[in-house]
Amino acid sequence: MLLWSYVDLQVREMVEIITREFIQMGGSAGEMELERAKTQLKSMLMMNLESRPVIFEDVGRQVLSTGKRKLPHELCDLISSVTASDITRVTTKMLRSKPAVAALGDLTELPTYEHIQAALSSKDGRLPRIYRLFR
């Protein structure tokens, strides 16, 4: 998991929202929500590929990473084939592994690595509360 933060005031809240979303994805993905996400992803893919520079970038990235290029309709077919159990399986696997955290900016409010790991191991994804007497 990778977290990027350019905002310094809501860093803690952002981390907690992300950890809660990961935990919820591990439970079960709603069928309607999954279909909406797949439709949005396919629409974004097709709209982005209307620009020649984006097409060239896509071809280059695919060839460099996999050695071949998948056509847009092939990618849409792959997206369509994703199931709720696939999402649960991948999320569960990710939650079992150690998180990778990267952040940029004022990190005074960034939770510790241990707190992020604890939130991802919890049932609700909430960060441990911190009480400070002085700031």
Instruction: Give the model's confidence band at 5: pLDDT under 50 very low, under 70 low, under 90 confident, else very high.
Output: very low
In a domain, 134, yes or no: no
Q: 131 lies in a domain?
A: no
Domain assignment of residue 5, yes or no: no
Total tally of structural domains belonging to the chain? 1
Give residue 71's domain range. 11-121
Q: Stretch 107-120: mean pLDDT, rounded?
A: 89
For the range 22-28, what are the long-range contacts, defined as Cβ-Cβ under 8 Å and sequence gap of 24 or more? 22/91, 22/94, 22/95, 22/120, 22/125, 23/95, 23/120, 23/122, 23/123, 23/124, 23/125, 24/125, 25/87, 25/88, 25/91, 26/88, 26/91, 26/92, 26/95, 27/88, 28/84, 28/88
Does 77 map to a domain?
A: yes
CB distance 16 to 126 below 8 Å: yes
| CATH classification of the domain holding 101 | 3.30.830.10
In tens, the pLDDT along 9-51 reads: 588 888 889 898 888 887 776 888 899 999 999 999 999 888 8
